[in-house]
Amino acid sequence: MRFVDLHTHSIFSSGVDSPARLLYHAKELRIEIGICDGIRYECPSGVEVEIKGKKDLDKKVKKFDEMDYIIVHGGKESVNRAAVSDSRVGILAHPDRGRRDSGIDSFISRKAAENDVAIEVNLSSLTSTKWNARVYALKNIKRNLMLSRKYGFDIIVSTGAKSNLDLRSSDVVREILTAIGFTEEEIKMSMEEVPRKKLRKT
């Protein structure tokens, strides 16, 4: 099982390392990465966009149409709903950002399944937080896993890495997901098969 991490950033967006450094360390860890700077690289190249609503999403999707995949920076309910209602979006990232709940309800679940938009489990919510924030993040991940089982939308796991130190090996990611309660099939899907499906979508 090989981890395909589509949510990483280099110094050309919100990261601190060069694309070459990220790719070098990914190779050392024996994982594959996509860099979502909104720039075309030799590796899978995506973009993470912040939007205000549907019109803004449409504008940004058209702007970055040449990218391999589009990630929407989630959190607000209106943003989460707009993202899962557009089949051109590949991933809704951190839907619980700035919230106490998971950011996913029955409407968003159905739309994500219908439009093939994957809901992200961003491991930085566990590895870069502590105390109550980590507790809420864990609770939200478990809730979204339950909703995925009920409504059939895809979950995709990522690190949200902004430096080479944030990257994680396949074994580490697998251990984390096992501890959370993912089945072997769900681990394989979220780590490898769903990311590859997002890349085939283009």
The CATH number of residue 177's host domain is: 3.20.20.140
pLDDT at 132 (0 to 100): 84
Structure tokens that stand for 72 in this block: 């929407």
CB neighbour class for 129 (10 Å; exposed up to 12, middle 13-18, buried from 19): middle
73 in a structural domain: yes
Q: CA-based Rg of the chain, rounded to a whole angstrom?
A: 15
38 in a structural domain: no
130 in a structural domain: yes
pTM of the model: 0.95
175 in a structural domain: yes
pLDDT at 202 (0 to 100): 55
pLDDT at 200 (0 to 100): 79
192 in a structural domain: yes
Rounded Cα distance between 49 and 36, Å, is 9
pLDDT at 182 (0 to 100): 98
Q: Name which of 60, 34, 41 is nearest 118 in CA terms.
A: 34
Domain count across the chain = 1
Segments in the chain below pLDDT 50: none
19 in a structural domain: no
Domain that holds residue 60: 46-158+169-200
76 in a structural domain: yes
